Amino acid sequence: MFKLWTVVLSLFLMVGVTNTYAITDTIPSPPESVAALSGPIEACVGDISVYTAELPIGCDALWYVESVLQSTSGNLLEYSWVSSGSFLVELEIACDTINFSGGSIMVTVDAVPNNPSQIIGDKYICMETTSYYNTMVGDNETCQWKVDDIIQTSDSSTISYYWYELGNHIIEVRAINQCGIGYPTFLNTQVFDMPEVFLGNDTTIFVGQNFSLNAGNPGCNYLWSTGDTTQAIIVSESGNYGVVVINPCGQVSDEIFVDFIVGEQELISDKIQIRILNGILYVEAGDVLIDKIQIFNSTGILLNESTFKKELPISQNGILIIKISTSKGKVITHKINS
């Protein structure tokens, strides 16, 4: 009987040992930390990043992004980035009822850059000078500068430019990072030369006509003797007219004398009207009695005169002085261009 129980006990112990060995053999050892997880640590908004894990046989993966459990349980996670910032990707390995850390990765996600800040620099500049312009962009961003759509060499937030061409110009800057190039910021710049002004020679105009004076130099500042500040003015009275033209390069001035004289069929007093036709001066006086009509040239030499007669031939062209004396002793003098 003793021998029988000894054999049974031995068999029981052998079976127990065998079963215990079989159970412990199916429990895997913990994976070796971070080496199980790999994938990119930088991305752009809109990118899909792929992360992979080395899983022990029979184990599943629990993927987390910012502590949010993802739907996949395999050894691969595809994640689409929808916003910028820093995000923690974590892996947890589940083997039966035992979970192990598979490591983690911190991912930096950028977006396409925003517009650079306002460009600071000269809006008005003189020809053949150098201007400096600067802006501000985000961290880890560079700049792309253009002048009149031509890319410049500088990629910093500051650029210098030598102006060699007159007129209006457009400065443009965009921010660049690993995710691309952003929208531009613009600045309009106008380049001037030293102004030059010539209003013309002194001139004579018939009364009743308007005369335009133009200072030229578009885009400059103007100050006329009349108080006007436009590039051109219209004058209708005799007198001296002057203008000062100002721009970033300096200022210049000029003046002109405009003389308005009586022309053909012009009323020179309340009732006396004169006109020139085919080289003859006609005087229409209504009920005014005229004693004498004299014609002088611009130097004061008498060319012709008549007593009571109201028609006189004109023997010389140019500026003439007409002198009319009435019976009441009134003398009327006018210039006329024949």
Which domains, from first to last, does the chain contain? 34-110 (2.60.40.10), 124-192 (2.60.40.10), 203-260 (2.60.40.10), 266-337 (2.60.40.730)
* Cα separations in angstroms, 279 against 122, 222, 283, 311: 61, 43, 13, 10
Measured CA to CA, the distance from residue 244 to residue 221 in angstroms comes to: 8
Read out DSSP for 9-44?
Answer: HHHHHHHHHHHHHHHHHTSPPPP-GGGGEE--SEEE
Q: What are phi and psi of 213, to 5 degrees?
A: -115, 125
162-213 pLDDT, tens digit per residue, is 999 999 999 999 999 999 999 999 999 999 999 999 999 998 776 666 789 9
302-313 pLDDT, tens digit per residue, is 888 888 677 888
Instruction: Give, for 272, the enclosing helix (H) or strand (E).
Output: none
Measured CA to CA, the distance from residue 212 to residue 232 in angstroms comes to: 7
Q: What is the pTM of this model?
A: 0.55
Measured CA to CA, the distance from residue 253 to residue 264 in angstroms comes to: 35
Residue 311: its pLDDT value, please?
Answer: 80
31-59 pLDDT, tens digit per residue, is 444 347 899 999 999 999 999 988 888 89
Burial class (CB in 10 A: 0-12, 13-18, 19+), 48: exposed
